[in-house]
Amino acid sequence: MNRLPIGIQSFKEIRKDYVYVDKTKTVYELVNGGKYLFFSRPRRFGKSLLVDTLRHLFEARKGLFEGLWLEDRWRWEESFPVIKIDMGGLVNREIEAFSRSLGNLFKNIYERYGHLDGFDEGLSPNDLMLNLVVEISKKRGQQVVILIDEYDKPIIDNIERPEYAVEIRDYLRSFYEVFKGLDEHIRFFFMTGVSKFSRVSLFSGLNNLEDISLYPAFGTLLGYTEKEIRENFSGYLEGVNLDEMRYWYNGYNFLGEERVYNPFDILQFLKSKKYQNYWFRTGTPSFLIKVLEEREEEPDIPGIENTELSADLLDAFDCYTMPIETLLFQTGYLTIREEMEEAGELYYTLELPNYEVRQSLNRELLFSYLKAGDKKKEIGRRRALWKALREEDIEGFIRIIEALFAGIPYSTVDLARYEDYYKSVLYAFLMGAGLEVTAEDIMDRGRMDLSIRLPEIYHRDSPVVILELKVVTKKENKALRQIRDRGYHRKYADRSCFLVGLEFNKHTKRLYAAWERA
């Protein structure tokens, strides 16, 4: 049985004795479908392996493609010179160091193609690239393939330093402009990244770049479909509950025929057979928290999953002006639920992709942004929540929420936004605990704040808690009365249902709770 390709970014390496999911049919369609292409995906989705595959393909390394779909469908007698630039491997904490690092990369490429005598350390990276492409193209009588991986890494790495991030963005914009004037010397240009900066901000000089990130034909180019997992990793699936695996890790939608698994997640799981937050752990979104904290408006955390954005807003990347949902989508914390078209314009409804991200992101928001949790205490509280719901101990369920609210430093909360803040805290806490939570749950007589239950993958007959939260100036019992009067519980008449009204007094900082069985 071939080994699991965890962390393998080299096509040559993965073709030795690792499992390789053959994507070469789609690769063939990609290289024959355009000349200047841009492709974005969240981190750990296999972008670097794709770039390396393209390098070996254009260099006509036929032996590496033996047994793959592309083996008998490519003109192996013709190879092209390939210039591959990995922006993720460069020093980027200051412009001068970044420029030197990029210059050293060019020195290695000059040497590789035997043009070291033409390398001049006094030239800018722009001129080094220009001279190299023209020189190689003329001497070999061939056009050059340009592959740029992680084009935005220098910006993303410095997103918490906004002035410098803008400076390095402008530097990159100047660098990328050089390719527009090299069209006659370029056979194929391919660029990958996490974010999709607007053409105005970064690609104004490369306005012929085609963004194929959400083309259905390439929706499953990166990541694994469930069919691919069954066919290629069958030896690792023994004893695996496929429904549970799907619930934890499947769900990314890039408008292909199927949703996909993040490769890093599923490979780690198939090796350990333990459900863990593998992908989230590799890059806690500290920059995301920083962006949230610097914004004046309060994000609607419970409403994030049902956000509807136009195609223009989904593509924009300016951390300090774009919707937070756009940032979450481009960095992999949200995915597409549905694509819609109206009056010739595209719209997208977004959602959290899977159980791993639902838990992990909400925990991070609770602790780092809302500053409402204690990581040491939360483990016990999460377990207590599950126990309370399993045993239908609603008094115990409420006590856990009371303990959560009691630990919040109220002086940091603006009175004007009390209700939204506490709803966000409650939602993030319950979602972070791994419960199934629906915000603004719709029924015929209105919207209930939250409906809460244990995940059905584990507990099909879980009771449902319908919860309404209000911020008040005196105890009125309005929250429970609203649930009862509007008959919210009728939506869940097929199972045990509990009505919980919470009222938080903004003056006394006390939480009053009332409940009843439906």
Instruction: Please report, for residues 251, 316, 503, the alpha-carbon distance to residue 516 in angstroms, rounded to integers and kept in the order given.
Output: 36, 47, 15
Same fold, 11-217 and 371-517: no
Q: Convert the pLDDT of each residue in 487-504 to its tens digit.
A: 888 888 888 999 999 998
Q: Give the pLDDT of residue 120.
A: 86
Determine how many CB atoms are found less than 10 A away from the CB of residue 275. 15
Residue with tokens 């509007």: 486
Q: Convert the pLDDT of each residue in 362-402 to its tens digit.
A: 998 998 888 887 777 778 889 999 999 999 999 999 999 99
Contact predicate 294/159, CB 8 Å: no
Determine the 3-state secondary structure of 432 from DSSP. helix
DSSP string, 265-289: HHHHHHHH-----HHHHT---HHHH
- Please name the residues in contact with 134: beta carbons below 8 A apart, sequence gap of 6 or more: 182, 185
Q: Convert the pLDDT of each residue in 24-74 to its tens digit.
A: 999 999 999 999 999 999 999 999 999 999 999 999 999 999 999 999 999
Q: Where are the domains of the chain?
A: 11-217, 226-281, 286-351, 371-517
Question: Which one, of 16, 14, 132, 22, lies nearest residue 73 by Cα?
Answer: 22
Q: Give the pLDDT of residue 449.
A: 86
- Residue 184 host element (H or E): none
Contact predicate 176/189, CB 8 Å: no
Determine how many CB atoms are found less than 10 A away from the CB of residue 356. 23
Per-residue tens of pLDDT for the chain, all 518 residues: 899 999 999 999 999 999 999 999 999 999 999 999 999 999 999 999 999 999 999 999 999 999 999 999 999 999 999 999 999 989 998 999 999 999 999 999 989 888 778 788 888 888 999 999 999 998 889 999 999 999 988 988 887 787 888 888 888 888 888 888 899 999 999 999 988 765 545 666 667 889 999 999 999 999 999 999 999 999 999 999 999 999 999 999 999 999 999 999 999 999 999 999 999 988 766 777 777 777 666 677 888 888 888 888 887 766 566 778 888 888 899 999 999 988 888 999 999 999 999 999 999 899 888 888 777 777 888 999 999 999 999 999 999 999 998 888 766 556 556 778 888 899 999 999 999 999 877 665 667 889 999 999 999 889 999 999 988 888 778 889 999 988 888 888 888 999 999 998 878 778 899 999 98
Query: What secondary structure letter does DSSP report for 4?
Result: P
Question: Which one, of 59, 54, 56, lies nearest residue 79 by Cα?
Answer: 59
Instruction: Please report, for residues 121, 198, 313, 345, 472, the alpha-carbon distance to residue 308 in angstroms, rounded to integers and kept in the order given.
Output: 50, 19, 10, 13, 31
Q: Give the pLDDT of residue 417.
A: 66
Output Rg (C-alpha) for the chain, integer angstroms.
26
Contact predicate 193/212, CB 8 Å: no
Contact predicate 442/421, CB 8 Å: no
User: Domain spanning 11-217 has what CATH number?
Assistant: 3.40.50
CA atoms of 514 and 470, how far apart (whole Å): 12
- From the centroid of its chain, how far is CA 91? 24
Contact predicate 135/116, CB 8 Å: no
Q: What architecture does CATH give domain 371-517?
A: 3-Layer(aba) Sandwich (3.40)
- From the centroid of its chain, how far is CA 120? 40
